[in-house]
Chain A
C-alpha cells in the first residue's frame, strides 16, 4: 500500500500546486493588462451616460468591490477571502443575482452533460479503435477515415450539423435550451422527459468528437502492442488468442488513460462551445452571456470554476490510473 500512498500524495501535492497557480493566474492576468480594469468596466457601463457624478459613483463602487485602489498584494488577499467565501460579487449583466448564484445554477448542467459525454465517447472510441486494430481489413478501412474526418471536425461544426439535421430538419429533438421553455424545474415526469430530450443533441455531439480522436489513438497503440515481442512469445507458447488480446488491450489502455487526463482540458473547451450552439444552460452559455454583457465578475468566476473542474477531473483520472497501472501496483506489493 505504501507505493500507492506515495503516488497519491505526490499527485495530491501537484493538484494543490497547480490549483494555486491557476488561482493566481486568474487573478493576475486581467490586472497585467495596461490600464485600470475598473476604469474600463465603468467606461463600458457608462457609455452614453452624461451624468459625471453618476459615473464617479459607479467607479467608486467597483473600485471598492475589487479593491483596485489598494496595493496589489492587499487586492490579492481580498480576492482570496472573497473566493473562499464563494463571494464573487454581483453579476453586472444579471443584477441583482450574485455571480455565485448564477454559477450555481449553471454548473450542474455542465457537469452532468460533459463528463458523461466525455467518458462515453472515450469508452466507445477505445473499443472501436481496439476492434479496428484487431479485426483489420474491412472494419479498419471504414472506421479509420471516418474517425480521422470526424476528429478533425471542429466541435461547434459537429454541433451545428447535428442541430440542423436532427433539430431543424427532422424535428426529432428540440434545438435549444436545457428543458422546455414552458416548464418550471420540478420533479415531474414531463420536466424530466423534457430534460432527457434536450440532453440528446449536445450529448451526442460531444461524444462523436471524442470518439474520433480516441479511436485513432487506441488503434495505433493497439497495433504497436500487437506487434510487441511478448505477443509473439505468448503465441509461441500457445496461449489462447482471447487471453493475449486481453493483455494487449490492457497495455494499450494505459497510455489512453493518461491521454484522457491530458486532453480533458481541450475537450471541455470544445464542449463549452457546443453548449453555446445548443443554448444549453451550462457554463459555456454563462460565459457567453458574461462576454456579451461585459460582465467581468461573471467571466472571472466562470473561468476559475472551469479550471477547478478540469484540474479535479484530471486529478481523479490520475488517481484511477494509479489503481490500474501494474507498475504502481507492483510497488504496492513490496
Chain B
C-alpha cells in the first residue's frame, strides 16, 4: 500500500493535478475561517459592481485629511473624467454644431473645454442623433462642470432647527485620507453579482458546495456501479444477464434526460443540494458498472480465486479479499472521474434552471445560471461568470490529470 502511494506520487501528472485540487480545497476550507461574511448576504444595492476597493465616502470626509502636493493630481483628475473617448465625442458634437474641424485640438484640454462650455446647449437638437446619445452628452456636460476649478468642495450640514445649510468644513483638492484610517473599506476582489452579493465569497462557498455535490454523486454512482459490476461479473448467469441488460439500457438512454425528468418532478421546493447530488449519482453509475464487470470477469477464473473457492470461503469473502484489491485502483480512478462529471452535471442542470434551490446555498452552476439570466456575458461583466468557468475547468482539469497519472501508474502499457 505504502509502495503504491509512493509510486503514485512519482507520477508528474498526478502530482500537478493533486496540487491544484488540494490548493482549491485548502482555499475552500481556510477562506471561510478568515472571512466570516455570509456568502449569500446581499450587500450591494444594484447589479454587477465592478471589482475593486470600496471606500466609504462618508467616513473619508470624517477622517483626518493629509495634504499631499502632487504635480500630476490635476491631470489625473481630468483624465478620469475626460478620457480619449470623451474627447472624441466632444469633437464629434462640436463638428456637428458647425465648428471647423481644424480649430478643434482634442489634446489641448483647456481650449477643448472652453469650446465645449461656450457652444454646448443641452436643448439643441442635432440632426440624426439618437435620444440615447443626446442624454449621454447631457450627462457628460454635467460631469465636466467644475473640472478645471482649483477651489475645494464645501461640506455643509443641515441645521435641525432652522433647516438652513451650515458649512462644517471644506475638502481641498490636495486633501488625502489614509485608507487604513477610514473606518469602512470593503474590498470586493471580484465585485458583486446580479443580486449585489460579494462574488468572491460566494464563489468560494459555491466551490465547496459543488465539490460536496460531486463527492456525494461520485460515491453513490461508484457504489452502485461497483456493486452491480461485482455481482454481474462474479455471480454470472442470470444475474449477469439481467444486470447487463439494465446497464446496456441506461448506456444508450441519455443520463441527462433522466436527470432532467427526475429533477423537474421533484420540484423546486424539495430540491436541495444533497437531493440533486443523489439524483446525479443514481443516473451516472453505468460506466463504472460496465468496467468493473469486465475486470471481474477476467479475474474470476484466476488461480488464487479458484484456490479461495476450493478452501470454502464465502462469496462475500472472495469478493472482498480476492477480487476487490485487484480492481481497487480502477475503482479509485472511476470515482475521480465520477466526481468531476458530477460537478459538471450539476452545472448543466442549474443552467437549465433545474439546479438546487437558490435561497440556501450557492453552487457553481447556480452562479453561472444567474449570470446568464442577467446577461453578464453580453454586458461585459466578466467577473460574474468567468471566475466560475475557471474554477469548474480547474476542478475537472485537476481531476483528469490525477486520473491520467493513476492510469499510467497502474497500467504499464500507457507509460511513456
Partners in one complex: yes
Contact with A along B143-166 (1 / 0, CB 8 A): 000000000000000000000000
Given contacts A164-B377, A306-B257, is CB(A156)–CB(B368) below 8 Å?
yes
> B354, A25: Cβ atoms under 8 Å?
no
> A29, B258: Cβ atoms under 8 Å?
yes
Question: In the complex, which residue of chain A has the Cβ closest to the Cβ of B251?
Answer: A262
Contact with A along B245-272 (1 / 0, CB 8 A): 0001101111111101110111100000
Cα A224 to Cα B412 with chains together (Å) = 12
Given contacts A29-B262, A29-B265, A291-B352, is CB(A156)–CB(B252) below 8 Å?
no
B265, B267, B354, B378: residue with the most chain A Cβ atoms closer than 10 Å: B265
Contact with B along A160-180 (1 / 0, CB 8 A): 110110001000000110000
Given contacts A156-B368, A287-B352, A311-B252, is CB(A299)–CB(B260) below 8 Å?
yes
Q: For the complex, is A26 an interface residue (Cβ under 8 Å from B)?
A: yes
Neighbouring B residues of A22 by C-beta, 8 Å: 253, 257
A interface, by DSSP: helix, strand, loop or mixed?
A: helix
Of the candidates A21, A32, A148, A269, which one forms a contact with B256 in the assembled complex, judged by CB atoms under 8 Å apart?
A: A269
Question: In the complex, which residue of chain A has the Cβ closest to the Cβ of B345?
Answer: A269
Cα A154 to Cα B414 with chains together (Å) = 26
Q: For the complex, is A266 an interface residue (Cβ under 8 Å from B)?
A: yes
Neighbouring B residues of A276 by C-beta, 8 Å: 351-352, 372
Q: For the complex, is A69 an interface residue (Cβ under 8 Å from B)?
A: no
Given contacts A40-B267, A291-B354, A292-B353, is CB(A154)–CB(B257) below 8 Å?
no
A17, A268, A272, A306: residue with the most chain B Cβ atoms closer than 10 Å: A272
Q: For the complex, is A18 an interface residue (Cβ under 8 Å from B)?
A: yes
Given contacts A163-B377, A175-B378, A310-B252, is CB(A299)–CB(B264) below 8 Å?
yes
B interface, by DSSP: helix, strand, loop or mixed?
A: helix
Cα A265 to Cα B248 with chains together (Å) = 13
> B253, A21: Cβ atoms under 8 Å?
yes
Q: For the complex, is B333 an interface residue (Cβ under 8 Å from A)?
A: no
Given contacts A25-B258, A265-B255, A291-B264, is CB(A148)–CB(B400) below 8 Å?
yes
Cα A192 to Cα B348 with chains together (Å) = 31
Given contacts A152-B396, A291-B354, is CB(A314)–CB(B252) below 8 Å?
yes
Within 8 A of B (CB), among A226-278: 262, 265-266, 268-270, 272-273, 276-277
> A152, B352: Cβ atoms under 8 Å?
no
> A168, B352: Cβ atoms under 8 Å?
no
Q: For the complex, is A303 an interface residue (Cβ under 8 Å from B)?
A: yes
Question: In the complex, which residue of chain A has the Cβ closest to the Cβ of B341?
Answer: A266
Give how many B residues have a beta carbon under 8 Å from the other chain's beta carbons: 42
Q: How far is the CB of B73 from chain A (nearest CB, A)?
A: 33
Given contacts A152-B396, A269-B348, is CB(A277)–CB(B372) below 8 Å?
yes
Question: In the complex, which residue of chain B has the Cβ closest to the Cβ of A159?
Answer: B377
Q: How far is the CB of A258 from chain B (nearest CB, A)?
A: 11
Q: For the complex, is B410 an interface residue (Cβ under 8 Å from A)?
A: no
Q: For the complex, is B21 an interface residue (Cβ under 8 Å from A)?
A: no
Given contacts A152-B393, A224-B413, is CB(A29)–CB(B351) below 8 Å?
no
Neighbouring A residues of B414 by C-beta, 8 Å: 220
> B389, A157: Cβ atoms under 8 Å?
yes
Q: For the complex, is B344 an interface residue (Cβ under 8 Å from A)?
A: yes
Q: How far is the CB of B52 from chain A (nearest CB, A)?
A: 21
Question: In the complex, which residue of chain A has the Cβ closest to the Cβ of B344?
Answer: A154
Cα A149 to Cα B256 with chains together (Å) = 23
Contact with A along B371-383 (1 / 0, CB 8 A): 0100001101010
> B261, A30: Cβ atoms under 8 Å?
yes
> A156, B348: Cβ atoms under 8 Å?
yes
> A269, B254: Cβ atoms under 8 Å?
yes
Q: For the complex, is B397 an interface residue (Cβ under 8 Å from A)?
A: yes
Neighbouring B residues of A37 by C-beta, 8 Å: 265
Cα A17 to Cα B351 with chains together (Å) = 32
Given contacts A29-B262, A152-B400, A175-B378, is CB(A157)–CB(B252) below 8 Å?
no
Q: How far is the CB of A147 from chain B (nearest CB, A)?
A: 11
Q: For the complex, is A108 an interface residue (Cβ under 8 Å from B)?
A: no
Of the candidates B254, B368, B404, which one forms a contact with A310 in the assembled complex, judged by CB atoms under 8 Å apart?
A: B254
> B252, A18: Cβ atoms under 8 Å?
yes
Question: In the complex, which residue of chain A has the Cβ closest to the Cβ of B368?
Answer: A156
Neighbouring B residues of A18 by C-beta, 8 Å: 248-249, 252-253
Can you name 30 A-B residue pairings with CB atoms under 8 Å?
A: A21-B249, A29-B265, A30-B264, A33-B267, A149-B397, A152-B393, A154-B347, A154-B348, A156-B347, A160-B377, A161-B389, A176-B378, A220-B414, A269-B255, A269-B256, A270-B348, A276-B352, A276-B372, A277-B351, A277-B372, A288-B352, A291-B264, A296-B264, A299-B264, A306-B254, A306-B257, A310-B257, A311-B252, A311-B253, A314-B252
Residues of A within 8 A of B (CB): 14, 17-18, 21-22, 25-26, 29-30, 32-33, 37, 40, 148-149, 151-157, 160-161, 163-164, 168, 175-176, 220, 224, 262, 265-266, 268-270, 272-273, 276-277, 287-288, 291-292, 296, 299-300, 303, 306-307, 310-311, 314
Shortest 10 CB-CB distances between A and B: which pairs? A265-B254, A269-B256, A157-B389, A33-B265, A30-B265, A291-B353, A152-B396, A152-B397, A29-B261, A303-B257
- Contacts A37-B265, A154-B348, A292-B353 aside, 9 further interface pairs with beta carbons under 8 A come to A21-B249, A29-B262, A33-B266, A153-B396, A156-B347, A269-B254, A307-B253, A307-B254, A310-B257
